[in-house]
Amino acid sequence: MTYLVILVLTAVVFISRYLFLEPKVPLRLSSSAQRFLSYASPAVLTAIWGPIVFLPHGELSLADNLPYMLAATFAVAMAWVTKNVLLTTIVSILVFLVLNLLIFK
């Protein structure tokens, strides 16, 4: 059953990507739909990192979560300045690792 679910979800993801990325398929999104979908990535990323940074133990805690908070603040500032997602991601991960492994052992 698990393999069937994985295969079905793989097919859904592939087909949804293929329909919009294949140039031979005459399916195009309107400009308003494209603008609406441009907010999807930041919303999903915020839903992932928000609880990790602000709710480390299931409740709001900022005192014992300093490496996460500092790395997240650095990532926001770097994203705002550089506007480069890949560079921001890689450098922010390195900053977090330095903070977490070397400074806040």
pTM: 0.62
27 shares a domain with 1:
yes
Q: Are 5 and 40 found together in one domain?
A: yes
Q: Which helix (H) or strand (E) holds 41?
A: helix 40-54
Nearest to 96 by CA among 64, 70, 63: 70
How far is the C-alpha of 13 from the C-alpha of 93, rounded, in Å?
Answer: 27
Radius of gyration of the chain (CA): 19
Are 59 and 86 in the same domain?
A: yes
Same domain, 5 and 41: yes
- Cα 89 from Cα 91, distance rounded (Å): 6
3-state DSSP percent of the chain in helix, strand and coil, to 5:
75, 0, 25
Instruction: Render pLDDT for 60-105 as a digit per residue (tens, 0 to 9).
Output: 877 777 888 899 999 999 999 999 989 999 999 999 999 988 888 7
